[in-house]
Amino acid sequence: MVEGTRYEVMKDLEITNINLKMKKTLYGLMAICAPLLVASCSQGPSKQSEKDSKVTISDEEMDYLGITDREHLSAASLRALKWPKIGNEWFLEFSQPMPLKGDLAYEEGVVRRDPSAVIKVGDLYYVWYSKSVGPTQGFAGDIENEKVFPWDRCDIWYATSKDGITWKEEGKAVARGEKGAYDDRSVFTVEIMQHEGKYYLCYQTVKSPYLVRVKNQIGLAWSDSPNGPWTKSKEPILSPADNGIWKGEEDNRFNVVKKGDFDSHKVHDPCIIPYKGKFYLYYKGEQMGEQITFGGRQIRHGVAIADNPLGPYVKSPYNPISNSGHEICVWPYGGGIAALITTDGPEKNTIQWAPDGINFEIKASIKDAPHAIGLNRSADTEKEPTEILRWGLTHIYNNANYQSIMRFTSHRVVKHVAKGENGKTK
């Protein structure tokens, strides 16, 4: 929320003309008047609020929004008048995911999930992903020997394809670390960056034991070839903020004395983008004592910036840079960075864009977006804002224990046409 927004909202609700003396007693007046306000709201706006809510609205805006009377504007109409005039170039619809062929087809007993972006090297497409075997037991099982989540006890594997549909599994790219290392339990949710002839994989890491309160970190590996071998960072390149305080000793992530920053518990879903001569590491933050808001889980995104692909990465002072989201899905467009925001929070299921890679604004509201999108980085990102979303990879839950990677497609929608209607405009 930009500075001053709260003031504007109060203005829209007609809390005006409060002099300095009245401000001193505002809380008391609110307590006394609350029942009266509720009663008055149930009967529609008062004459005073009708008078104060008048705004300038053109005949064209009235016709476009279907507003009948410019003297009587509902709260919905007032909001609509503030919508940005951005057209429909950012809007699209997704088709249902389609199964892949070859080695990435669903395999009982095997988890393949969280595909990276797809890159093309020569005549081959490459993708990296999390892979594990066996069922998920959860935190009630034997934590030392079983799987807590499907992404637990994962290594990073990769596959190649000539057409993006039939895939050949090539083998393990990055393995878990040795016992005692920061990544000894699992390496997963990987993303690829291709830059100046080198290849960089960033991914989540967990150190044993996998407890509820364990703090996830981000690791990095690099290579001169998409086929490896890969050199791993000896230490994480990004860690959670260290300013929250757990309450008590119980392994419960909701009991906190102090929640701390938006990423005080976990840093997840990393993606590095070369941008304006630097490297922007976008990531999902989970907060200690995470709550449910009116948009669902309290999930937000952040960014850390480095001068070198290997770091060090410094978190932006503007974090968090989103109010919502889950898996990171970002791409360059129009001199800025675009983002698909899904799953969690009050601004979920939107496409957003930031001219500076930090200050994002909503460009479209969408539906049925695939989970954990792996973008097709070989696409022409400047052709259209959403060209990179025409096809890519995702994952689905085949059942409670196992997931598989699928292919998604999308198409632009600029008008609604009924069956039998040609949809042509004069």
Q: Dump pLDDT digits (tens) for 364-388.
A: 999 999 999 999 999 999 999 999 9
- Closest by CA to 147, choosing from 59, 232, 208, 189, is 208
CA within 13 Å, CB half, 46: 11
Q: What is the mean pLDDT of the chain?
A: 89
3-state secondary structure 167-184: EEEEEEEECCCCCCCCCC
Residue spans of the domains in the chain: they are 5-81, 92-412
For the record, the structure tokens of 389 come out as 């979303």
Provide the CATH number for the domain formed by 92-412 in this structure. Answer: 2.115.10.20
Cβ(167)–Cβ(160) under 8 Å?
Answer: yes
Tens digits of residue pLDDT in 64-98: 999 999 999 999 999 999 988 888 999 999 999 99
Do the bridges between strand 278-286 and strand 300-306 make them parallel or antiparallel, or are there none, so unpaired? antiparallel
What is residue 140's predicted lDDT score, i.e. its pLDDT? 87
175: left (phi over 0), alpha (psi -120 to 50) or beta: beta
CB 387 within 8 A of CB 375: no
Query: How many other C-beta atoms can be found within 10 angstroms of the C-beta atom of residue 301?
Result: 29
Please give the structure tokens belonging to residue 383. Answer: 């052709």
The pLDDT of residue 425:
55
Which are the contacts of 419, defined by CB distance < 8 A and separation ≥ 6? none
- Report the alpha-carbon distance of residue 239 to residue 48 in Å, rounded: 53
Within 13 Å, how many C-alpha atoms sit on residue 284's CB side?
Answer: 25
Residue 17 has pLDDT above 90, yes or no: no
At 322-359, the pLDDT tens digits run 999 999 999 999 999 999 999 999 999 999 999 999 99
Q: What is the pLDDT of residue 41?
A: 40
Q: How confident is the model at residue 412 (pLDDT cuts 50, 70, 90)?
A: very high
